[in-house]
Amino acid sequence: MVKENIEEKCREIRKEVFVQAYCGRGAHMGAAFSVADILGVLYFGGILNYQPENPEWSERDKVIVSKGHAGVALYAALSIAGYFDKGYLRTFCQLGSKLGGHPKIKEIPGVEASTGALGHGLSFAIGIAYANKADKKESHVYVVLGDGECQEGSIWEGALSAPTLELDNMTVIVDHNKLQAMDELERIIHMKPFADKWKAFGWNVVEIDGHNCTEIKEALLARKTGRPTLVIANTVKGKGVSFMENAPIWHYRMPNEQELPILLEELGMTMEDLK
């Protein structure tokens, strides 16, 4: 798939994120826009082996979005990939819909783990990767973490375990936008030097621009035998909407009447797209 098509898919993910937020009257848009390019490259950049028509295919690669509050971005990617009709996105967070604020396994095709309680996705993925090793499967496991999520102790237990188990069939991508719900990351818990911590634990660490599709793809393919890979994707929270970018207030908020036309223009949308 050529670069232009990947970038177009990333733009489409952002549009469908807002469709869900608008129809559901709220979503974690800042976190979803931040991770859109990462998911776009995973699903449309020739990285994943998957079959939307057969979501339980035993040889599939798996994506676990541990930062479950960005589930609207995952839903958007899955619908665009063909796991379910895009029209279903308009039911987000409405009565009777399976598309809730956080993704749930066994209810939504393509969702590989129930996430939202932060800090658990990495350990869940380690179990899958270890089982794949034991079963001699070629499947690869990808985990998307938030950088604020990395303040959880369970993340660092997993960070110690994966190199010990030599899980070179697992890649972790940290959405490093340097913001969390209430403030800047470093003003809550010091995380620096972030890359050095993972390297000291034995990870193959790659640091990139998390909005550059070429860099993302190259990093996802930069594996090393016997070691899990950690991709630090430097991103911008709220990427794609000027007034949302790098603003903690947009962790969870909807645009007002003055902000809505700006958002629509910058995402390349009109009100017709929301009907």
| pLDDT tens digits for range 101-126 | 999 999 999 999 999 999 999 999 99
More confident of the two residues 42 and 116: 42
Q: Residue 249 contacts by C-beta under 8 Å, 6 or more apart in sequence?
A: none
The band of 2, judged by pLDDT with boundaries at 50, 70 and 90, is very low
The band of 1, judged by pLDDT with boundaries at 50, 70 and 90, is very low
Please state, as a whole number, how many other Cβ atoms lie within 10 Å of the Cβ of residue 178. 16
pTM, full prediction: 0.97
Q: Which tokens in the block code for residue 110?
A: 């393509």
**How high does pLDDT run on average in the chain?**
96
Q: What is the pLDDT of residue 275?
A: 85
Nearest-5° Cα angle at 215, 210 to 217: 100
**What does the pLDDT look like over 206-226, one tens digit per residue?**
999 999 999 999 999 999 999
**What does the pLDDT look like over 228-249, one tens digit per residue?**
999 999 999 999 999 999 999 9
Q: What is the pLDDT of residue 89?
A: 98
Q: Which tokens in the block code for residue 10?
A: 């990333």
Q: How far apart (Å, rounded) are the C-alpha atoms in residues 199 and 215? A: 20
Write the CA distances from 108 to 69, 83, 121, 147, integer angstroms: 15, 9, 17, 26
Q: What is the pLDDT of residue 4?
A: 55
